[in-house]
């Protein structure tokens, strides 16, 4: 299996992602080269939970301005993971 650290970059801890926790849905930022099957295996191996389904969203770059420079943010992918059983503690140190 590929390196889990390259598949799952970090959890997304936004307000919308926090509101999805009672529905057993967790949001992760993932590498752009990976698919649903690889994300499912990585989540099950890392957190020891059963995954019901994985939805992947391609996030488009956004137009931004920093001081006098104009440009775009990077494109990235996020995975919304729905669990069958178990729970993920994202705040664990």
Q: Domain containing 14: what range?
A: 4-85
User: Quick check: is 22 in a domain?
Assistant: yes
User: Quick check: is 64 in a domain?
Assistant: yes
User: Quick check: is 48 in a domain?
Assistant: yes
Place of tokens 């178990």: 86
User: Quick check: is 93 in a domain?
Assistant: no
User: Quick check: is 35 in a domain?
Assistant: yes
38 CB-contact burial (10 Å; exposed 0-12 / middle 13-18 / buried 19+): buried
> If you average pLDDT over residues 64-93, what whole number do you get?
87
pLDDT of residue 92: 62
pLDDT of residue 93: 39
Using an 8 Å Cβ cutoff, are 92 and 71 in contact? no
> In CATH, what number is assigned to the domain containing residue 57?
3.30.70.330
pTM of the model: 0.85
77 has pLDDT over 80: yes
Q: How many domains does the chain have?
A: 1
pLDDT tens profile 8-50: 999 999 999 999 999 999 999 999 999 999 999 999 999 889 9
- The two tokens of residue 15 are 């307000």
Share of the chain above pLDDT 90, in %: 78
User: Quick check: is 92 in a domain?
Assistant: no
User: Quick check: is 90 in a domain?
Assistant: no
- Name the H helices within 1-93: 4-7, 15-19, 36-47
Using an 8 Å Cβ cutoff, are 10 and 26 in contact? no
The one-character DSSP state at 68 is T
User: Quick check: is 24 in a domain?
Assistant: yes
Average pLDDT, the chain: 91
């Amino acid at each position: 299996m590929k390196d889990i650290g390259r598949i799952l970059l970090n959890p997304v801890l936004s307000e919308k992602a926090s509101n999805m926790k009672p529905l057993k849905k967790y949001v992760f930022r993932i590498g752009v080269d990976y698919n649903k099957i690889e994300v499912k295996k990585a989540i099950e191996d890392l957190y020891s939970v059963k995954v019901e389904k994985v939805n992947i969203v391609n996030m488009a770059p956004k137009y931004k301005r920093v001081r006098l420079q104009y440009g775009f943010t990077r494109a990235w992918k996020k995975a919304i993971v729905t669990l069958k059983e178990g729970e993920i503690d994202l705040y664990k140190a």
